Structure 1
Amino acid sequence: MSQNHQHNHTHDHVNLKGRNLLISILLNIIITVAQIIGGLLSGSLALLSDALHNFSDVVSLIISYIADKLTKRKASLHKTFGYKRAEILAAFINSSTLIIVAILLIIEAIKRFKNPQEIESSLVIWLSFIAILGNGFSVLLLKKDSKSNMNMRSAYLHLLTDMMASVAVLIGGLLMKFYNLFWVDSALTLAIAIYLIWMGFHLLKESTKVLMLFTPDTIPIELIIKKLNAFKEIKNVHHVHVWQLNEEEIHFEAHVDFEHNITLTEFDVILTKIEKLLFKEFDINHVNIQPEFEKDDVKDVIVQD
């Protein structure tokens, strides 16, 4: 039985979120093409690395857009949860690409350190400035939704890190133009890559926990069991599972051994109390309880299925 779950997003807000993603995708396609051409013409690895990062942004934004559309599809007999996990999967893919791109950039930066090249810095300066404007606008578009949605947060992080990378490339371009410090190009590439790994790892870990059905960090199972066992009608709570379906739904299921052979009407009254407690104190909005009386089964809190 599942109760007490609410969705606060209006239809207009959902459409706005999809529109913002589309605008960000178009902007990043333009920036990527411009930076690839500019990087090849100028010989700047930092600009090409920023282009590669921007390309990963395009891919991640497209994945986020598709995931956003999929979550709106209704559940069916073959997909009883619908596509509610599409956005979590998108966050996992996007954070993984951040780290992969970063590793590729580190390899290229090390090669360039060994063999520094002269770079056409004026082109680097102008293209990085354009990238800052484009990504900055995209960041503003997605900032609000990034606070409440893991998928949008992954897209937002891609764009934010790329904007910061473009700022670094701009500074590097200025240093190369006025001081001929061409090694700065490789140094900036290395710094961008390290930052990408740092930003991507947390999101990768967070989305992996959800996909692996790990208990959310905010859910203290031992405290929950203690509170449920305090009900005078309950003898034992065991065989517990707690998992996060997506960012809006936390599920709780357990076997509950009752002191007496109660009726279904009495069980419904107790179940309502359990649901209210779990929702109010722990934000658990889907509850499934299997009632038992003197059943011969394992009474451990966690049981390996």
Structure 2
Amino acid sequence: MGHSHAHKHSHNHDLNGRNLFISILLNIVITVAQVVGGLISGSLALLSDALHNLSDVVSLIISLIANKLVRQKASLKRTFGYKRAEILAAFINAATLIIIAILLIFEAVERFKNPQQIESNLVIWLSVIAILGNGFSVLLLKKNAGDNMNMKSAYLHLLTDMMASVAVLVGGLLMKFYQIWWIDSVLTFAISIYLIVMGWNLLKDSFRVLMLFTPESTSVDSIVKDIQTIDTIKNVHHVHIWQLNEEEIHLEAHIDFNKNITLSEFDTILDEIEELVYHKYEINHINIQPEFGKCDTKDVIVQD
């Protein structure tokens, strides 16, 4: 089996964990304030923003737990440890984004049919507080949002909520100065559609990883052709390529050799394959089964 080129990023995990914890505390305060304010003012947009903030709290807690789990060492019962915890957290968070957004759409339609007068001053001030709180959380998580899907899901939750608060603020101002009460429902609907779009992309990406699909940027045919250019290799077949988490892409394959090579010769070829797939395709874990004259299916993809 090929050695790994991946490196540990414990410092990043510690930093991410601290930032997630701070964001959780901020969003708890914002959620409580918006629920109370939404009930007093009668604003559906404010209550929908509060519900989204509540989902932020849950999603951030899930992300924080995943951030802690991923650092636990592998064991006899868990040979991969919890390396997929953050991918699972991203999938759950994306799913909750979509579910909440759909529920909000139904509420927005009902409220649009029966618009209600709203205490706009309270809506304005609470939306400003939410913008400041979520804005600070967004800045905390932005730097590491590209590191893994878990941090990206937490970042998206907070970013969309900050944008939702901006929309609520605009709505509050329109209601205060122009008495346009139906804008509350329209903004809720627009926020919900945006959440569905953002959540769907993340849900799709995390689903691909959980289902062991080949990474979208990886071409199996190109990898097979490149490996087969190495001397003594006759055929590459029975190939599996999957992404374990944000840092590891695995390759498993059977390789037919033109001659009955020694184990030391195989080790040299294995090193060459490792360097090839790592530098060209960013695959950092490989498992190769060498074969010579074996009668089996030589198809690149074989249904196990």
TM-score range relative to shorter protein: over 0.9
Asked if structure 2 preserves the Cα contact closer than 8 Å seen for 1:241 and 1:252, the reply is: yes
Match of 1:75 in 2: 74
Identity of aligned residues (%): 71
Distance 2:270 2:35 in 1: 60
Aligned counterpart, 1:87: 86
Q: Is the 8 A contact 2:6 2:248 kept in 1?
A: no
Which secondary structure does the structure 2 equivalent of 1:146 belong to?
Answer: coil
Q: Is 1:63 aligned with 2:62?
A: yes
Letter in 1 for 2:50: A
The residue type paired with residue 5 of structure 1 is: H
Q: 1: distance between equivalents of 2:8 and 2:292? A: 39
Give me the whole-angstrom Cα distance separating, in 2, the residues matched to 1:285 and 1:278.
8
1:287 Cα shift?
0.5
- Tell me the distance in 1 between the aligned counterparts of 2:6 and 2:236: 27
Q: What TM-score comes out, normalization by structure 1 length?
A: 0.98
- Between the aligned partners of 1:207 and 1:149, the Cα distance in structure 2 is 10
Identify the residue that residue 102 of structure 1 maps to in structure 2: 101
Gaps of 5+ in 2: none
Deviations 1:129-168 (CA, angstroms, capped at 9, x unpaired): 0000000000000001101111000000000000000000
> Matches of residues 123-272 of structure 1 in structure 2 within 5 Å?
123-272=122-271
SS at match of 1:255: strand
Q: In the TM superposition, what whole-angstrom CA distance separates every residue of 1:180-214 from its partner, at most 9, and x where no partner exists?
A: 00000000000000000011010000000000000
**Deviation by residue 1:90-139 (Cα, 9 ceiling, x = unmatched):** 00000000000100000000000111111000000000000000000000
Give the Cα–Cα distance (whole angstroms) in 1 for the partners of residues 228 and 150 of structure 2. Answer: 37
1:83 alignment partner, SS class: coil
- Matched residues, number: 304
In the aligned structure 2, how far is the partner of 1:165 from the partner of 1:101? 13
- The one-letter amino acid of 1:294's match is G
Q: Distance in 1 between matches of 2:47 and 2:233?
A: 64
Query: Whole-Å Cα distance in 2 between the matches of residues 271 and 141 of structure 1?
Result: 42
Q: Secondary structure at the match of 1:31?
A: helix
Query: Partner amino acid for 2:145?
Result: S
Between stretches 63-72 and 143-152, larger displacement belongs to: 143-152
**Secondary structure at 1:145's aligned position in 2?**
coil
Alignment of 1:5 with 2:33, yes or no, is no
Shift of 1:5: 2.1
Unaligned regions of 5+ residues in structure 1, if any? none
Whole-angstrom distance in 2 between the partners of 1:8 and 1:72: 9
Distance in structure 2 (CA, Å) of the matches to 1:86 and 1:77: 18
Q: What is aligned with 2:296?
A: 297
How does the TM-score come out when normalised to structure 2? 0.99
Q: Which whole-Å CA distance do the structure 1 matches of 2:138 and 2:67 have between them?
A: 17
What SS does the corresponding residue of 2:143 show, helix, strand or coil? helix
Deviations 1:205-239 (A, max 9, x none): 00000000000011111011111111121111000
Q: Distance in 1 between matches of 2:195 and 2:7?
A: 32
Residues 17-72 of structure 1: CA deviation (Å, up to 9, x unaligned): 11100000000000001100100000000000000000000000000000000000
Contact 1:4–1:279 (8 Å) recurs in 2: no
Alpha-carbon distance in structure 1 between the residues aligned to 2:148 and 2:15: 14
Match of 2:37 in 1: 38
* CA-atom RMSD in angstroms: 0.8
The offset of 1:8, in angstroms, is 5.2
Structural mapping, 1:106-121, within 5 Å: 106-121=105-120
